[in-house]
Amino acid sequence: MLSKYNISQERNTTSLFGKVDMVALGLYLALVVAGIVCIVSASYNEEVGSAFSLQHNYMKQIVWGGISMIFALVVLLLDRRLFHMFAYPAYIAGIGVLIAVLLFGREVNGAKAWFEFGGVRIQPVEFAKIATAMMMAKVMSDYSFNIRRLPDLVKVGLVIGIPLGIIILQNDTGSGLVLCSFLFVLYREGISKYIYFPIIFTVALFITSFIFTPVVIFTTLLILFTLYSAYKTWAWSVHIRFLALVLLAALLLSLLTSLSGYASLMVACSIAAVVLMGVALKTRTMVLIWPIMMFVYAMIFVPTCDYLFTKLEPHQQNRILTFVGMKEDPKGIDFNVNQSQIAIGSGGLTGKGFMDGTQIKYGFVPEKHTDFIFCVVGEEWGFMGTLTIIALYIALIMRLMKMGERIKEPFGRVYCYSVAAILLFHVWVNVGMTIGLMPVMGIPLPLMSYGGSSLVAFTILIMIAIRLDASTDDQSIYMK
């Protein structure tokens, strides 16, 4: 009996690294090494000490890489049950640290999101992503959890919304938007597809509010709503006359009062929405309820969006306006993106070679070792290099999704998909902003951009997923 116990214990303690997904680990290491190579090329300066001086950014990154390896080893040796046990404390601690940095942190580039200890800066939001992913997994792995029940959906919304709100208050909107990537996880767990239509509708309203005037937006929505209602009820003449009446009422209000055209249209549409809702409820024409509610939502959202836009910093306003094509500033806010595109385009098929990128070497690309590290890949490694890096990220993301599918219990599945979603969002936004397809948000390229907080946080984030996947023998304990 004792011998059997000893054999079992030996098998459990020696088989961990045999079960570690070496493909995921290899992809992680490849991206970390590629990042250090790019930082060497982007930040090496012959005039700053020796090549091994800690004054060089790449030497600092190597040190952070060594620290990350220690964290990785510790995480892989931890009992997987600890991640279940400490999900709540980690989340509470993460919220507490986010509040602390909001109150006492240092402001960098307009965002109050950093702690500074001596010469070392820590960005707590990077670690808050880990805590939020663990909390998501904990809440959604509860035995009674059902994603289609409103109370459970509200729980998930609060888990995401609380840190998101604090991060936005820090004026670090880009990092906060990363948490929106968890919508992908909710879709995997079976959330109703109808939830995503209001989200798409909100994004469309947000973008169009910067391109068109509110009068154009609401008139268009009113016409579309009328056509939809007429199509569903086949009462074309009634709805067309109702549309004409609303527009006429708005015109008369504008002419007979001191209200602007926008305010008059809002008043007329509000009265029309109340009347239509009453008619729909009385006649039980339920097909009109959702369009009416979305129309009312639009009337609230667009003015709110305009108000919040005025509260943004000038550089944030300019980034949004240039992204939607409402403003051009090639020597100002567009300068970084223009230089980034020039650098990537000049690399051609195979690139200019290691440390031979002229745009990078002579400082034409700002933030070349942090947010715009992908420019180094494009200029020095060319199209083949960028394709290789993107392929490594895609492979890692897909591997995490595969790990999530083969984990038998919901905690590990939700967590692995959360990590994949965070990585996907970071890569999509960072690469997109360097080639001009996304607005500049200050989001680092995972594992490659310079920064100790980012590297350590992503290491822990990924290693927890690998550790959960590595222990398959005792997963049945946590299954629903």
- Whether 1 shows a pLDDT value over 50: the answer reads no
| 166-186 mean pLDDT | 84
Axis crossing angle, helix 196-211 with helix 289-311, rounded to the nearest 10 = 50
Per DSSP, the residues of 260-304 read -HHHHHHHHHHHHHHHHHHHHHHHT-GGGHHHHHHHHHHHHHHHH
| 129-136 mean pLDDT | 93
- Whether 350 shows a pLDDT value over 80: the answer reads yes
Which two three-digit tokens encode residue 256?
């007979």
- Whether 418 shows a pLDDT value over 80: the answer reads yes
Rounded to the nearest angstrom, the gap between the alpha carbon of residue 396 and the centroid of all alpha carbons in its chain is 17
- Whether 27 shows a pLDDT value over 90: the answer reads yes
Predicted confidence at residue 12, as pLDDT, reads 43
Which two three-digit tokens encode residue 430?
């960072």
Predicted confidence at residue 287, as pLDDT, reads 64
Predicted confidence at residue 10, as pLDDT, reads 36
User: Is the Cβ–Cβ distance between 464 and 452 less than 8 Å?
Assistant: no
Give the phi and the psi of residue 434 in degrees, each rounded to 5.
-75, -25
Predicted confidence at residue 92, as pLDDT, reads 93
User: Is the Cβ–Cβ distance between 449 and 35 less than 8 Å?
Assistant: yes
The sheet carrying 111-117 orders its strands as: 106-108, 111-117, 120-122
User: Within 13 A of 417's CA, how many CA atoms are on the CB side?
Assistant: 21
| 233-237 mean pLDDT | 65
- Whether 131 shows a pLDDT value over 90: the answer reads yes
| 73-99 mean pLDDT | 90
| 403-428 mean pLDDT | 90
Confidence of residue 283 (pLDDT cuts 50, 70, 90): low
Domain ranges of the chain: 20-198+337-478, 212-312
Q: Which amino acid is at 77?
A: L
pLDDT digits (tens, 9 = 90+) for 93-110: 999 999 988 888 787 766
Single out the residue of 423, 424, 394, 400 nearest to residue 412, CA to CA: 400
| 19-24 mean pLDDT | 86
Which two three-digit tokens encode residue 110?
């307009």
User: How many angstroms separate the CA atoms of 402 and 405, rounded?
Assistant: 5
- DSSP run (H or E) holding 117: strand 111-117
Give the phi and the psi of residue 419 in degrees, each rounded to 5.
-65, -45
Weakest mean pLDDT among 183-192, 278-287, 328-337: 328-337
User: How many angstroms separate the CA atoms of 234 and 224, rounded?
Assistant: 15
Instruction: Count CB atoms within 10 A of the CB of residue 433.
Output: 24
Predicted confidence at residue 332, as pLDDT, reads 55
Handedness of CA 355, 428, 430, 449 (dihedral sign): negative
Predicted confidence at residue 79, as pLDDT, reads 84
SS3 66: helix
SS3 435: coil
Q: Which residue has the tokens 């989340």?
A: 91
Confidence of residue 234 (pLDDT cuts 50, 70, 90): low
Predicted confidence at residue 427, as pLDDT, reads 93
Backbone dihedral region for residue 49 (phi beyond 0: left; psi -120 to 50: alpha; all else: beta): left
User: How many angstroms separate the CA atoms of 41 and 355, rounded?
Assistant: 5
Q: Which residue has the tokens 């939502």?
A: 297
Cross-strand bridge partners of residue 107: 112
Predicted confidence at residue 423, as pLDDT, reads 94
Predicted confidence at residue 477, as pLDDT, reads 42
Average pLDDT, the chain: 79
User: How many angstroms separate the CA atoms of 103 and 108, rounded?
Assistant: 14
Handedness of CA 76, 79, 81, 87 (dihedral sign): negative
User: How many angstroms separate the CA atoms of 251 and 234, rounded?
Assistant: 27
Give the phi and the psi of residue 15 in degrees, each rounded to 5.
-95, -5
- Whether 306 shows a pLDDT value over 50: the answer reads yes
Task: Report the alpha-carbon angle 398-81-424, nearest 5.
Answer: 20
Higher pLDDT, 209 or 164: 164
| Percent of the chain predicted with pLDDT > 90 | 20
Which two three-digit tokens encode residue 291?
């369009």
User: How many angstroms separate the CA atoms of 218 and 61, rounded?
Assistant: 51
Weakest mean pLDDT among 173-187, 282-296, 409-423: 282-296
Predicted confidence at residue 236, as pLDDT, reads 64
- Whether 13 shows a pLDDT value over 60: the answer reads no
Predicted confidence at residue 89, as pLDDT, reads 92
Residues with Cβ within 8 Å of residue 388, at least 6 apart in sequence? 381
Taking CA atoms, 385 is separated from 81, 106, 222, 432, in Å, by: 40, 37, 49, 16
- Whether 9 shows a pLDDT value over 70: the answer reads no
| 147-165 mean pLDDT | 87
Predicted confidence at residue 284, as pLDDT, reads 67
Predicted confidence at residue 438, as pLDDT, reads 78
User: Is the Cβ–Cβ distance between 376 and 359 less than 8 Å?
Assistant: no
Confidence of residue 281 (pLDDT cuts 50, 70, 90): low
| 147-158 mean pLDDT | 86
Confidence of residue 333 (pLDDT cuts 50, 70, 90): low
User: How many angstroms separate the CA atoms of 392 and 250, rounded?
Assistant: 56
Confidence of residue 326 (pLDDT cuts 50, 70, 90): low
Count Cβ atoms within 10 A of the Cβ of residue 68 and give its class: 0-12 exposed, 13-18 middle, 19 or more buried.
buried
User: How many angstroms separate the CA atoms of 97 and 92, rounded?
Assistant: 9
Higher pLDDT, 115 or 26: 26
Dihedral of the alpha carbons of 67, 68, 72, 73, in degrees to the nearest 10: -20
- Whether 78 shows a pLDDT value over 90: the answer reads no
- Whether 385 shows a pLDDT value over 70: the answer reads yes
- Whether 3 shows a pLDDT value over 50: the answer reads no
User: Is the Cβ–Cβ distance between 261 and 217 less than 8 Å?
Assistant: no
Taking CA atoms, 196 is separated from 19, 184, 288, in Å, by: 37, 10, 19
User: Is the Cβ–Cβ distance between 206 and 306 less than 8 Å?
Assistant: no
